Structure 1
Amino acid sequence: MDILMAQNEQGLFDLPVQSGDLVGDNSLGTEIMVSLFTDVRAEKDELPPECRDLRGWWADALLSMQGDEQGTGSKLWLLRRQKQLESVLVQAETYARSALQWLINEGLASAVSVTAENPVQGMLALKVSVTRASPSVVQRVTDAWMINITETNVTMMGVV
């Protein structure tokens, strides 16, 4: 069981507490949110001209010393100032799939599907569906993300 990550009233992710303890979660929802919304370190040649910060999670430096080159998170942050083009949607799908690949590698999921679209001007939305390797039935809904978790699938709809 993992710790539940939920959105609070301000739209920020929070760790709920119940009876003085962190709330547990058997779904993959928290893993998916951390994978998509943690900024993985970029290469220098991937940065937009106005940006100098490669970002990344500090603990990835420790993991890379152990041979893990993947890093935690996604490169979706690199798309924040991009135009609404088909190529950007394809890149968003690629970044999201790459960030979620570890779920398959670790045996937590058997498949990951990602679709990106621009539902309105200035918005990039991702539909993420993860087929679980082991069944669990949970459903969570947040303001910005609708997360539906059944015995075999985790589906998230939301705005990046």
Structure 2
Amino acid sequence: MDIAITWNVREARGDWPIVSGDLALDNPLRSAVMVSLFTDRVAPDQPSSDDAAVGIQSPTGPTGSATADRRGWWGDAFADLPIGSRLWQLRRAVKVGTRAIPREIEDICSEALQWLVDDGVASSVTVSAWWNPTVRTMAEFSITITEPGNSTPQVFKFSWAWEGLT
């Protein structure tokens, strides 16, 4: 078991729940997925063509300004592969058509979770994203992970909402 992490969609943050005066426990794979998806990965210097297609731009502005912030964890400066995901960059995304942002979510989540396969924690990771049919500013996505030696995959579902997205 691992420390449980609950995700608050409205506040876009995770928290450690307390049960009977102690940290709640949860599935360790779920905890790894939560940290991988909802920790801010450093943004690349240049966005990919898929990033640019949804309006994600390179961080710009004077050094130290909010617009120049590439985020990420300081410890990644010493790592071969940064932790977390670039889901935070979708705050800058523009909804164009019905498929571009869900496709970008799938790419970002796959990038963030690739370490599970590389490290042998999972034999496969599949991501599927779509727009919520009733809330136009909310995308939903599922992560399906199959562990080595286990034919029954685990499925984790999440939502991501934007303010002011039309």
TM-score bin, normalised by smaller chain: 0.7 to 0.9
Work out the CA distance in 2 between the residues paired with 1:21 and 1:37. 23
Alpha-carbon offset, residue 126 of structure 1:
1.2
Give the alignment's Cα RMSD to 1 decimal. 2.6
Matches within 5 A, 1:17-56: 17-18=18-19, 21-46=22-47, 47=58, 51-56=67-72
TM-score (norm 2): 0.71
> Which residue does 1:159 correspond to in 2?
159
| Percent of paired sites with the same residue | 38
Map of 1:145 onto structure 2: none
Indicate if the aligned counterparts of 2:40 and 2:84 stay in contact, CA closer than 8 A: yes
Structure 2 residue matching 1:109: 3-state secondary structure: coil
Q: Out of 128, 133, 139, which is 1:115 matched to?
A: 128
1:5 aligned residue: 5
Report the counterpart of residue 114 of structure 2 in structure 1. Answer: 101
Could you say which structure has the higher strand fraction? 1
Amino acid at match of 2:121: L
Q: Distance in 2 between the 1:80 and 1:134 partners? A: 38
Superposed displacement of residue 16, structure 1 = 3.0
CA 28–90 in structure 1, closer or farther in 2 if over 3 Å, else same: same
TM-score normalised by L of structure 1: 0.73
| Amino acid across the alignment from 2:122 | A
| Gap runs ≥5 in structure 2 | 48-57, 62-66, 161-166
Asked whether 1:60 is paired with 2:76, we answer yes
Task: Give the aligned length.
Answer: 140
Change in CA separation of 1:32 and 1:134 when aligned onto 2, cut-off 3 Å: farther
* Aligned residue in 1 for 2:55: none
2:84 — aligned with what? 73
Q: Which runs of 5+ in 1 are unaligned?
A: 136-150
